[in-house]
Structure 1
């Protein structure tokens, strides 16, 4: 089954696609990285949809979705996602899968709407203390390029506000969690790569039922570099629920 939808929420229409054969398992909801639309999941969607129904969507202003007048912080984004799921009649509980900035959004979704989430998978998700702890360890050119990239979705201040919202939210989650860390990041020194993996491992501590996996041969887009690692993590999580 593949169902494409343009769903009216309070102030815009959001594009979503529901794929899969429902096997009585929770629906898997996937949120892509900064500036990425639902195509960011093309490399894994067919395999993941064999496990359960999967909903992928374009955040407001990306892909086939209209722009929203709301701010582009994580808190505003997850409210829109909640509206989308309600209007599309996709019933909870959900298994949430977030990449990079999508991981920030879905961690916040899990703490804001705990009764709707039964599992969480984070793919190289942005740590809440990224700016303070990680960015200063990188070369100046990297830092400048990082700061200039915020043009396709939320701006730099909104992104940092999202990390602050995550920090201020109740951090621990009471669901099974799998954290995947990219072990082969481009432009990272050995020291930076080690720190990155440490920070990813710290994220796994927000749940007492967590697993931490380093995708040794992956850059930031683990779903493209090692799609089987992602599918396998989702399968593992489904079996725990």
Structure 2
């Protein structure tokens, strides 16, 4: 499909008290709209190696959460619950009708999980890319070095603070209902600074996310650190394509 001219539309849409930046790549061809959400403190550029390829098949929505990238800051609480509500309103104002196929990286995976739980009738598939498990703090963080833990706790300065982030994990835990949609979980198998014990635990916790749906699949990206979409973009691209095919 080389040589396909990918159509791009950009938007600045007011949601609550902030203008959010979004863009749509590609054209819908009787296929679900793919919506991508980035990790904590990151924005739409995180999908530069993936979105153009998916846009050859269907329309892809990329957006910057409030306070990130080209989007204005919001005075609203920065929790997943609030972000999901904002994304829902954004999609409505962009006149993008469901069904949506959701793709979330890291903290973006938490948001996409919550969106699927709150609006199940709008979602036809979910791809989690090294998504943050809801019990990360209790089970995983203690296995890491003191230095790692200190650095982790100090990173929450870009959007929600530490308390809001932990509140988001609690929100998605409370909404942990079994979904009836195709789910693919992709785990990074070569995480920087991880001991063998921590890496094995991470992969185990990623596999536990398969219980979110009765129709789930697990992929281990053996040569990837946390940003699988950069290290092994084809792994993510092919996973998304597979879910698109299921929904044709």
TM-score by length of 1: 0.99
Runs of 5+ unmatched residues, structure 1 = none
Give 1:94's aligned residue. 100
In 1, Cα distance between equivalents of 2:208 and 2:102: 19
**Kept after mapping to 1: 8 A contact 2:176/2:212:** no
Give 1:216's aligned residue. 222
In 2, Cα distance between equivalents of 1:59 and 1:204: 27
1:151 pairs with 2:168: no
Matches within 5 A, 1:1-241: 1-241=7-247
Measured after TM superposition, the shift of residue 240 of structure 1 is 1.3
- Pairs aligned (count): 241
| RMSD over equivalenced CA pairs, Å | 0.7
**Kept after mapping to 1: 8 A contact 2:50/2:233:** yes
Measured after TM superposition, the shift of residue 8 of structure 1 is 1.5
In 1, Cα distance between equivalents of 2:20 and 2:180: 29
Measured after TM superposition, the shift of residue 150 of structure 1 is 0.5
3-state SS of paired residue (1:217): coil
Give 2:4's aligned residue. none
3-state SS of paired residue (2:65): coil
Over residues 184-231 of structure 1, what are the superposed CA-to-partner deviations in whole Å (9 max), with x where a residue is unaligned? 000000110000000000001110100000000000000000000000
In 2, Cα distance between equivalents of 1:171 and 1:200: 17
Moved over 3 A (4+): none
3-state SS of paired residue (1:205): helix
Measured after TM superposition, the shift of residue 54 of structure 1 is 0.1
Over residues 75-107 of structure 1, what are the superposed CA-to-partner deviations in whole Å (9 max), with x where a residue is unaligned? 000000001000010110100000000000000
In 2, Cα distance between equivalents of 1:153 and 1:44: 24
Over residues 24-78 of structure 1, what are the superposed CA-to-partner deviations in whole Å (9 max), with x where a residue is unaligned? 1010000000000111111112111112100000000001111111100000000
3-state SS of paired residue (2:179): coil
3-state SS of paired residue (1:14): strand
Runs of 5+ unmatched residues, structure 2 = 1-6
3-state SS of paired residue (1:220): coil
Measured after TM superposition, the shift of residue 170 of structure 1 is 3.5
3-state SS of paired residue (1:157): helix
TM-score by length of 2: 0.96
